[in-house]
Structure 1
Amino acid sequence: MASSSLGFAESRQRRTAQVLLFVTPALFTANMLLARATADFIPPVALAELRWTGVVLVLLPFCGRELWRARAALRRDWARYALLGLLGMGICGAGVYHGAATTTATNIGLIYAVSPVIIILLSRAMFGERLSRRQGLGAALALTGVLVIVLRGDPAALLSLSFSTGDLMILGAAISWALYTVLLKRWPDPLGVQARLTAIALAGAILLVPLLGWELASRGAPHFDLRTIATVLTLVLVPGVGAYATYSYITEHLGPSRTGLLLYLSPVYTASHRSIPPCWRGCSSARRLPSTTGSARRSSCRASSSPPTSRRRPESPALGGPTPARAAALGRAAAALRPQGPLRPARADASRPP
């Protein structure tokens, strides 16, 4: 009787993990989009530090007692938590935010789609985990499907893809994430999902402190306004608490190789973000327009078609980004929305490169 109840509970947990396979990538996608949208007003290390400190503060009231009871295990295995914090919160946190300044959200999702392959290779090399032929074929088909969707069925679009130093940093973060996933499953832990995430996040936040000090000395502190606070809260609750907790749950019940397959959905969700009401894109475009009045910013934020004029590299046309002609047309439309008077003529704005 007890064994049947245990089997039913395990079956229910596996079904829950299989459902979360489709939810978790959407939570991670929020991190990729916000990493790109906030690259010019929140320094990367400060953003990562705020995110993981916030995660610790949110989860600590729910698992503080469990952490206190397991303090002997925490002291014994502190090196493991430090390494997981470095891989999952340090490199995969500040590294992604730093690389996002010179790449696109779609490129981030596309590069992270390589993580499942890296997870499979690491699991086999480090722990001898075998993947069946059917699972390997499924992984190959999933990666092919991602490429077809992102490239819109045009293989020639691969020739026009451009990669920057930011893309290389994202690739390093993807490798770090793969190693984090494998070790998360293979290292036994007495803590529950929330308590373990809290311990790892705390370790990552502590390890980021020296880099934070260097960044504050060289770039200064971020300006805390409503936009910054909303960004940090979103990162804490959605890709911080939500995505990492569900990812840990899936890894525990399905294993690292199968869990890694969910990352194939990230570039699909990221590439389709243009169909979602573009609040973040519109507001970020508004702050980069050369307007000198608050009303002009609010008008351009409501008109979410305003083109960005920042110095960052625009998205590649092969990945759905704006072409120069389309950006110029959108520039003329945005200029028409701005009030006349002390602002420069619309022709001068429209002539600026996108």
Structure 2
Amino acid sequence: MEKQNLTRTYLILLLVPLFWGGAFGTTKHILSELPPLTTSALRFIIAGLLLFIWSSWRRELSWLPIKQNFFSLMALGATGVFSYNYFFSVGLQYTSAVTAALIIVINPVFTTCIASFFMGEAWNWRTLLGVAISLLGVSLVVSKGDLSILTQMSIGVGEVYLFGSVASWVVYTLIIKKMTRTIGTSLVTAVSTIMGAVMLLIISIIKEDQWSKVMNVSSQTMLEILYLAAFATVIAFLLFNWGIQRIGATKAAAYINLMPINALWIAVFLYGEKISTYHLIGMSLTIAGVFITTQNKVQPTILEAKG
């Protein structure tokens, strides 16, 4: 029974990188009508409201745990919502999409190391092998089959910002694991999303001041914003946080490697982009790496057993 529950968890978590992967195409179109920070703020404001409705429906909305965990919730909003999206949107202005994709997918590597050394999560060489194989697969895809391009990259302003995104997400992943032991997942996600959205709103007004454009966007853009808020944020965040509770930060973070792969498939089917041999090889390696990481059989540590 326990094995069946774990298998179901692994299958359900596949929706997370699917929804996040679909966000690339929709965001690209939205940015043709709205600036990045305004887009992010609008997305997370709507998402935060939806999460509050969800928490109320589940009767998880309670002000006492919010008050008791206020600063931790603010830290989640500052890392997983505000700083991640701020660093990412600014970083893309200074560097290529290839470099950005390579930097973002090292999230599982840093999460694995920090979770193992500082949070007591169990690991072994199979864990590192799975991370390495999946990272190789994504690298093959984003470099278009020419791994030599990786040696030609230099660290510039854009890369520094993108490493800020990586650091933000790693911190968010590790904080959420501790938080969900004492407070409900949906409530944590709702409050932290609203807090991060307010931060994005403030910075978008200061840096862009283009909220007057929101009322004049096309119906397609509005539907895409709703998709980002409902599926790529609310459902994906709830499932990701739930997954961390069930299988730990290391294994849950491994699913992030599937995000660019799903973005590729969606681009092929919805936007008519061509797929090459290196795409198939890269996707196979990535999926194999995620499978190895999630099927890793190690004994839980005391810290993990308490979760």
What is the TM-score of this pair, normalised by structure 1?
A: 0.68
Summarize deviations over 1:74-105 as a string: whole Å, max 9, x none.
Answer: 10110000000110110122332333445555
Q: Does the CA contact (< 8 Å) of 2:27 and 2:224 recur in 1?
A: no
Instruction: Find the counterpart in structure 2 of residue 150 from structure 1.
Output: 142
Q: Does the CA contact (< 8 Å) of 1:89 and 1:201 recur in 2?
A: yes
The CA RMSD over aligned residues, in Å, is 2.9
CA offset at residue 161 of structure 1?
5.4
Instruction: Write the mapping of 1:154-303 to structure 2, written as runs, cut at 5 A.
Output: 154-159=146-151, 165-217=157-209, 221-223=212-214, 224-226=216-218, 227-278=220-271
Amino acid of the structure 2 residue aligned with 1:208: L
User: CA 1:48/1:250 → structure 2, altered by over 3 Å: closer, same or farther?
Assistant: same
Instruction: Find the counterpart in structure 2 of residue 123 from structure 1.
Output: 115
Q: Does the CA contact (< 8 Å) of 2:100 and 2:159 recur in 1?
A: yes
Instruction: Find the counterpart in structure 2 of residue 56 from structure 1.
Output: 48
CA offset at residue 26 of structure 1?
1.7
Matched, 1:47 2:39: yes
The percent of aligned pairs where both chains have the same amino acid is 19
Q: Does the CA contact (< 8 Å) of 1:91 and 1:173 recur in 2?
A: yes
Count of matched residue positions in the alignment of Structure 1 and Structure 2: 273
Matched, 1:97 2:86: no
Instruction: Provide the rounded CA distance (Å) in 2 between the counterparts of 1:96 and 1:153.
Output: 25
User: Equivalent residue of 2:81, what SS?
Assistant: helix
User: CA 1:167/1:31 → structure 2, altered by over 3 Å: closer, same or farther?
Assistant: farther
Instruction: Provide the rounded CA distance (Å) in 2 between the counterparts of 1:177 and 1:119.
Output: 9
Matched, 1:140 2:132: yes
User: CA 1:163/1:33 → structure 2, altered by over 3 Å: closer, same or farther?
Assistant: farther
Higher radius of gyration, 1 or 2: 1
Amino acid of the structure 1 residue aligned with 2:225: V
Q: Which moved further from structure 2: 235-244 or 36-45?
A: 36-45
User: Equivalent residue of 1:128, what SS?
Assistant: coil
Q: Does the CA contact (< 8 Å) of 1:112 and 1:174 recur in 2?
A: yes
Instruction: Provide the rounded CA distance (Å) in 2 between the counterparts of 1:266 and 1:108.
Output: 13
CA offset at residue 213 of structure 1?
2.8
What is the TM-score of this pair, normalised by structure 2?
A: 0.77
Structure 2 residue ranges without an equivalent (≥5): 280-307
Q: Does the CA contact (< 8 Å) of 1:47 and 1:94 recur in 2?
A: no
User: CA 1:45/1:154 → structure 2, altered by over 3 Å: closer, same or farther?
Assistant: closer
Q: Determine which structure has greater relative contact order: mean sequence separation of CA pairs < 8 Å that are 6+ residues apart, divided by chain length.
A: 2
